[in-house]
Structure 1
Amino acid sequence: MAHPDIRPATPEDLPDLIRLVKDLATYEKEPDAAVATEDDFRAALFPTGKGATPMAWCHVAEAGEGRDRQVVGMALWFLTFSTWTGRHGIHLEDLYVEPRHRGSGLGKALLETLAQECRERGYKRLEWSVLRWNAPSIAFYDSLDATPQDEWLTYRLDGDALEALGRDDD
């Protein structure tokens, strides 16, 4: 059964998504790193044109009543693929609930919604990353019986290193 305060994001939510991403970046001590725009999110989440397919999806959490109802959280995700299971999964890129609404059950409801997406679509995994210093989030994930994948290291290429490796020097 769907949680009444969780719904798929719509184009009208784009300003709230940008606000929440900036809040998350500040929480994660990287306020200047969040440079995505509404146009970037529109292109990824709500593409238009023939054959256009989203590259990412988002669910939002709402709180309040009537005209005071507002977006206070989000779960932005994309598909993965496991060669071992031969099935897709969901990678949760960002889960964020405004501090004043933490402990209200909205974070768990967002994760439950993604778990339901996995079950309904036959996906075998729901995965995400968490910063090692983020003890409150780690405790929350542990309370859900999520399993840390400590044996894996995450690597990233970006900036000059990405440009250099992707350069066509032929």
Structure 2
Amino acid sequence: MTTRNMQLATLGAGCFWCTEAVFQKVKGVEKVVSGYSGGTVPGHPTYREICSGLTGHAEVIQITFDANVISYEDILVIFMTTHDPTTLNRQGADRGTQYRSVIFYHDEQQKEIAEVVIKEVAPYFESKIVTEISPLTMFYEAEKAHQDYYRNNEGNGYCSFVITPKLTKLRKLHADKLK
């Protein structure tokens, strides 16, 4: 019987539907929850409030993973290579601070690993990486309709044109890390 080493990672890479779909395919990932973090407005925000861009929250996912199967560093490498970490407050057509690239660290070790990973992947990008590294203060779970979005809406146009290509890129770059 193997001992499990469950840990959390909280990441924002634009629309949480995309990031959720990517990490649900990764070995060692137990659970992925879409939500909101990093805002300045008190209380549990709604999707509509987040979309206004006025709350300061980012669309994020919170990943529960077994560090004995996949490392936090590998989680971050997948994160950095399956979205564009060089565009400020934007991923594709999605624009606003709620779509920023951000790593919310849970402890100082995660912060240090995030800094190292960003330095390691930076030479592979033509533009400067703008991914924010911030301490996690609060995570708010998004509404039920936003959970398992790709699995429940695969035929949707957004899924076909935006999420499916990200999954193709994931399979190409990280086949050895997939379930």
Q: Give the TM-score band, short-chain normalised.
A: 0.3 to 0.5
- Larger of the two Rg values belongs to structure: 1
Taking structure 1 as the reference length, the TM-score comes to: 0.35
Taking structure 2 as the reference length, the TM-score comes to: 0.34
Choose between structure 1 and 2 for higher RCO, CA contacts under 8 A separated by at least 6 residues. 2
